[in-house]
Amino acid sequence: MIHTSIFYTIKIETVNGALEPFYICPGIDCKKLFIIRQRFSNKRMDARVKVTFPHLGPVLAYKKMFELFGHEVVMPSPPTQSTLELGVKYSPEFICLPFKVILGSYLEAITRGAELVVTSGGIGACRAGYFGDLSEKILRQLGYNTRVLVFDSFIKEFPEFYRQAREVRNHCSLIRALSILNLTFHLIYALDQYEKKINQLRPYEVVRGASNRKWLEIQKLIGASNSLNELKINIKEAERIISEIAVAPRNDLIQVGLVGEIYMVMESAINQEIENKLADMGVAVTRYRNISHWLKYCIRPNFPILKKADRYLHYELGGHERENIGYMIQYKELGYDGIIHLLPFGCMPELVTQTIIPQLSKDLDIPILSLSLDEQSGWLNNQVRLEAFVDLLKNRRELLSNSN
């Protein structure tokens, strides 16, 4: 228990004009002050509420978690052009594309009755750390009373993390809550692994679109699991479904690694389904970024990968810039033909990566294409660049083969 009587108390004005207490206590080393933010709301999560969240990654796993905690889930729809236009309308002009899409998704969910938004935060110079408070302020200005509950690092900000977790678990016992979280992590991992398998099979499929159709079946199957035993049974069925995809061997595929900002890399509706389009061009794409990878990184960073980036960047900027540089180096070591780097326009951490890419490409002797996307980006321009990049990789492979 944290005894607030030993803290210094100050008042800070919140986005809705109210004064909230902030408790400040001396750090262990007596040189730093740790601020533990105590948020209060007139509406506590003491009963079933309608919950929504950003559309990113294995959303059916999040849905299952909140349902098991006793809440009603307002599922975020996959982002569309209307979602983007809605977010752009109410967002700051120069905020990055992920925020605009996420805000549009929130607004769509609120019109369907969402009362609470649950999301993650960020650290460092990445503006993702401000997404929660900024979106809540915008929603207040638009007249909505929807709360935005932001989960930051459970290691660095454990008291706040634990307090919010108690709200979300909705009177579930600690043992029951841990059981639900355990199932959720297994669901996330299973869905991520099958998405990875589908992406690996897509360039080899005989019938175009078969992999995507089977992926929809697998998502519904895995997402319907209410226990670990059900999940084990559904995984066996998923293996049968994935085995039905007819594939043909190919030795002409170009190997490309995909890196970049997490939302741009993972959300196919925003990156213009780049993995599908590259598969149609005869490219096998490897993407290391998914939610289970992110969760593992939050617990224990991938130090061998980060060490590879030390030559080019020593410091964390709040995004995934060092990890992306490390994986670019690893893709070269694994013999990939090229690398594609995705970033939202104006993303500070990935802009740093972008400035390093020319030297990195020269040192590694590997072509790297960096694509910056925002609401003004059209697919035609990027299609031309991708096709030219793939042609370059094919010609380069042929030249290298002939020279050997």
Instruction: Single out the residue of 110, 102, 108, 121 nearest to residue 145, CA to CA.
Output: 110
What pLDDT does residue 319 have?
Answer: 80
Q: How large is the average pLDDT for residues 224-251? A: 94
**Token digits for 306?**
């980060």
- All structural domains of the chain, each given as residue ranges with its CATH number in brackets, are 1-40 (no CATH), 41-172 (3.40.50), 253-404 (3.40.50.11900)
Instruction: Single out the residue of 79, 286, 75, 68 nearest to residue 187, CA to CA.
Output: 68
Q: How large is the average pLDDT for residues 339-355? A: 89
Q: Identify whether the C-beta of residue 341 lies closer than 8 Å to the C-beta of residue 260.
A: yes
107/52 Cα distance (integer angstroms): 10
Q: Work out the pLDDT band at 230, boundaries 50, 70, 90.
A: very high
Q: Work out the pLDDT band at 18, boundaries 50, 70, 90.
A: very low
**Token digits for 270?**
């925003």
* Burial track 274-305 (b if 16+ CB lie within 10 A, e otherwise): bbbbbbebebbbbbbbbbbbbeeeeeeebeeb
What pLDDT does residue 132 have?
Answer: 84
Helix axes 174-201, 291-299, angle to 10 degrees: 130
pLDDT tens across 128-158, in order? 777 888 999 999 999 999 989 888 766 677 7
119: helix, coil or strand? strand
CA-based radius of gyration for the chain: 23
What pLDDT does residue 154 have?
Answer: 67
Q: Identify whether the C-beta of residue 186 lies closer than 8 Å to the C-beta of residue 179.
A: no
pLDDT tens across 306-325, in order? 999 999 988 877 788 899 99
Provide the whole-model pTM. 0.82
DSSP-based helix, strand, coil % in the chain, nearest 5: 50, 15, 35
Q: Work out the pLDDT band at 123, boundaries 50, 70, 90.
A: low
Asked if residue 125 has pLDDT above 90, the reply is no
Asked if residue 8 has pLDDT above 60, the reply is no
What pLDDT does residue 30 have?
Answer: 31
Q: How large is the average pLDDT for residues 31-53? A: 53
87/97 Cα distance (integer angstroms): 9
Asked if residue 336 has pLDDT above 60, the reply is yes
Helix axes 174-201, 210-223, angle to 10 degrees: 170
pLDDT tens across 173-211, in order? 889 999 999 999 999 999 999 999 999 999 999 999 999
Asked if residue 233 has pLDDT above 90, the reply is yes
Q: Work out the pLDDT band at 124, boundaries 50, 70, 90.
A: low
Asked if residue 33 has pLDDT above 50, the reply is no
What pLDDT does residue 32 have?
Answer: 35
What pLDDT does residue 401 have?
Answer: 84
Q: How large is the average pLDDT for residues 274-288? A: 93
What pLDDT does residue 153 have?
Answer: 67
